[in-house]
Amino acid sequence: MPAPKNPFKAAIRENRFQLGLWVALASPYAAEVVADSGYDWLLIDGEHAPNDLPLLSAQFHAISGRGSHPIVRLPVGDTALIKQALDTGVQTLLIPMVDSVEQAQQLVRAVRYPPHGIRGVGAALGRASNFGRIGDYLQTANEEICLILQIESRKGLDAIDEVAALDGVDGLFIGPADLAADMGHLGNSGHPEVRAAIVDAFARIKRAGKARGIMTLDPVQARDYRDLGADFMAIGTDVTLLVSATQRLRQEFSGEQPTSRSESGY
């Protein structure tokens, strides 16, 4: 029996657009509520949400087998953290703050078993191999792992051509908020200079034959990114949706004018 198929990896290889949502409430129950909302993928955030590995694993399990593919963003591209996440059954990883081809090469090796990588052989202890019941897991796991690298700095932009050319990198995800900050436009990811950098990045990623990902909470910006060729995109977060819905409900009942949301990174 081989490793489970990765539907997200198959979709981006076949150029099927994938729509996603951020999951950052650090709650398996909340993740389960969102999981049948019709999104192709859900990003369980371990970078900015208050998550540790057991919480990430619990949310992954709450989403798995429902309507959306769970992706995990680790706080950093650490080999030990990657090994643990993969052993819990995660098949698609988003690694933030990738700035060089050397860093990308190490991440590719971290998600692969020897001789093509350095992933430790211990999956029989975890959910990834159904606790040892998937007999061919070690031989088939590499092919179903999907590695997405997040580019969110000028240095990362400079390295895109080399990073995107690597075998084992399935997609590059542009982080507009951090990119804008690094370019001197903190809190303004819609600045023309930032958009121009994203346009250029998308074109270079496409030339390399890799998938282009991005995230925004602005519906107008989201349609622009889609028109620019985004292959997978998140258009919201559970946290901001909860904030806006609860605030709007109170304001409507009280007869208050709705307040506009201030920019805070997403």
Check if 48 is active-site: yes
Three-class secondary structure of residue 90 per DSSP: coil
Instruction: Single out the catalytic residue among 48, 61, 185, 191.
Output: 48
Alpha helices in 38-126 (DSSP H): 53-63, 79-87, 101-110
Nearest to 183 by CA among 172, 198, 193: 193
Cβ neighbour number for residue 233 with a 10 Å cutoff: 20
Residue 249 to residue 189: CA distance in whole angstroms: 28
Residue 28 to residue 44: CA distance in whole angstroms: 10
Q: Which amino acid is at 43?
A: L
Residue 50 to residue 55: CA distance in whole angstroms: 9
Contact predicate 47/260, CB 8 Å:
no
Angle of helix 79-87 versus helix 101-110 axis, rounded to 10: 40
Show the CA angle centred on residue 165, arms to residues 221 and 19, nearest 5°: 30
The two three-digit tokens of residue 131, written as one number: 């606790």
Query: What secondary structure does DSSP assign to 197-229, as a single string?
Result: HHHHHHHHHHHTT-EEEEE-S-HHHHHHHHHHT
Number of separate helices (H) and strands (E) present in the chain: 12, 8
The two three-digit tokens of residue 104, written as one number: 């990308």
Q: Catalytic amino acids?
A: 48
